[in-house]
Amino acid sequence: MKVGIISFAHTHAIGYASILRDRPDVECVATDPEHGARPNGESGGRELAESIGVGYVDTVDELLAWHPDAVIVCSENARHADDVERAAAAGVHVLCEKPLATTGDDARRMVDACERAGVWLMTAFPVRFTAQYAQLRHRVQTGAMGTVLSISGANNGRLPAERAWFADPALAGGGAVADHTVHIADLVFGLFPDADAQEVFAVANHMLRPDREAETAGLVSIRYSNGVTAVIDCSWSVPEHYPTWGGLNLRVIAEGGIAELAPFAERVDGFSDRSPLWLSYGADLDAAMLDEFLRAVSEGRQPVPSGRDGLRALEVVLAAYESIAAGRAAGVRAL
């Protein structure tokens, strides 16, 4: 299978490229046309592709002319829509990095373009592929936890330092709220596929990094149509020298008890002469996600989480920003 990578703007692209390079059934070619526009010192372009060991072409047109079966779009969030539209127009299936887009119109345009073109659109929510999440979802959906009442989640990370655009609202669609609300929002939708997010109240501040234009801390409260309430801490609150990038925690509060999910918790702890050691050994969720994407494409079925799942998570983010701007709860508008 021929798989293209559009842009190294999102550093997840490096991990995806490495996974694809190691798959004997995949040929991988990347393009990173906007690399020159990124600040000096940020990795990218042909040099990065060669260091990973995947093919490289200079433009998206060249990449699509190579006739890939599928592409992974890892450009800046605000550029997803154009890249996805171009791939769809070329009849190529798409896995798009999260958040799906920075505006509702863009997200709608992407989903519509893929539907029109008859190509599959998947959203990159790798945490869904945690085996223990599947167990938890099974317990919830079979009623073994009793009625679920509420969710408390935290997805915290460092301020993404290796790419400046993450903290540039024009390219990222915001800051921590855009970056880190969607994973937990998606996990909650995964537990309750029939529920809608109805109302969002969110607060945010810039206190962790006042020099950045984007908000670096945020709390997002959500009311769902099934009566479930949730709060997500989406802050970039993990210190720069923390031994790992951050983590994700999800507490599910139910009549039958409480479940705590920490997909990135598995590690060996240690300490070197100077600093803590944190040797993660959990399953490679990115690899599992790419496996679902490529398997679905080859089987001719919708990969999950879908583009529509990305759309629903984005609806929560957009309502959160509306709430932050207005200082009061905002209704969630279906895109």
Partner 1 sequence: MTTPTVGLVGAGGIAHVHLPGWLDLGFSVVVYSADGHAPALTGLYGGRAVGSMDELLDTADIVDVATPTDTHRQIVERAAEAGKHVVCEKPMALTVADSEAMIAACQRAGVRLFPAHVVRYFPAYAAMRSAVADGRVGTPAVQRFFRIGAAPKQPWFRDRARSGGIAMDQMIHDFDQARWSAGDVAAVYATQAGDQTTATTAVHAILRHHSGTITHVNGVWGNSAVSFHTGFSVAGPDGLLEHDSLRHPVLDYDGVSDAAEAGYLPPVEAASSPYTAELADFARAIRDGGSARVTAEDGLHAVRIAVAVNRSLDEHTEITLEDITENTLEDRR
Task: Name the segment binding partner 1 (CB under 8 A); options: 114-122, 129-137, 211-219, 278-286.
Answer: 211-219
Q: Which is nearer to partner 1, 20 or 202 (CB)?
A: 202
Burial 43-76 (b: 16+ CB within 10 A, else e): bbbeebbeebebbbbeebeebbeeebbbbbbbbb
Report yes or no: 140 and 252 within 8 Å, Cβ to Cβ. yes
Tell me how far apart the alpha carbons of residues 134 and 129 are, in angstroms, rounded to a whole number.
Answer: 7
Based on the shown chain and the rule CB under 8 A, indicate whether residue 195 belongs to the binding site for partner 1: no
Q: Is 206 helix (H, G, I), strand (E, B) or coil?
A: coil
Tokens of 154: 């935290």
Q: Which is nearer to partner 1, 132 or 221 (CB)?
A: 221
Judged by CB under 8 A, the residue of 253, 280, 288, 304 near partner 1 is: 253
Q: Which is nearer to partner 1, 189 or 224 (CB)?
A: 224
**Nearest partner of 221 among 128, 329, 104, 335, judged by Cα:** 329
Based on the shown chain and the rule CB under 8 A, indicate whether residue 254 belongs to the binding site for partner 1: yes
Q: Is 251 helix (H, G, I), strand (E, B) or coil?
A: strand
Based on the shown chain and the rule CB under 8 A, indicate whether residue 258 belongs to the binding site for partner 1: yes
Judged by CB under 8 A, the residue of 203, 280, 288, 304 near partner 1 is: 203
Closest distance of CB 229 from partner 1, Å: 4
Which residues, including other chains, have CB under 8 Å from residue 320's CB and lie 6 or more apart?
Answer: 177, 181, 200, 202, 218, 220, 330
Based on the shown chain and the rule CB under 8 A, indicate whether residue 327 belongs to the binding site for partner 1: yes
Based on the shown chain and the rule CB under 8 A, indicate whether residue 251 belongs to the binding site for partner 1: yes
Based on the shown chain and the rule CB under 8 A, indicate whether residue 193 belongs to the binding site for partner 1: no
- Residues of this chain that interact with partner 1 (CB under 8 A) are 146-147, 149-150, 152, 154, 156, 199, 201, 203-205, 207-210, 216-219, 221, 223, 227-231, 233, 235, 237-239, 242, 251, 253-258, 327-329
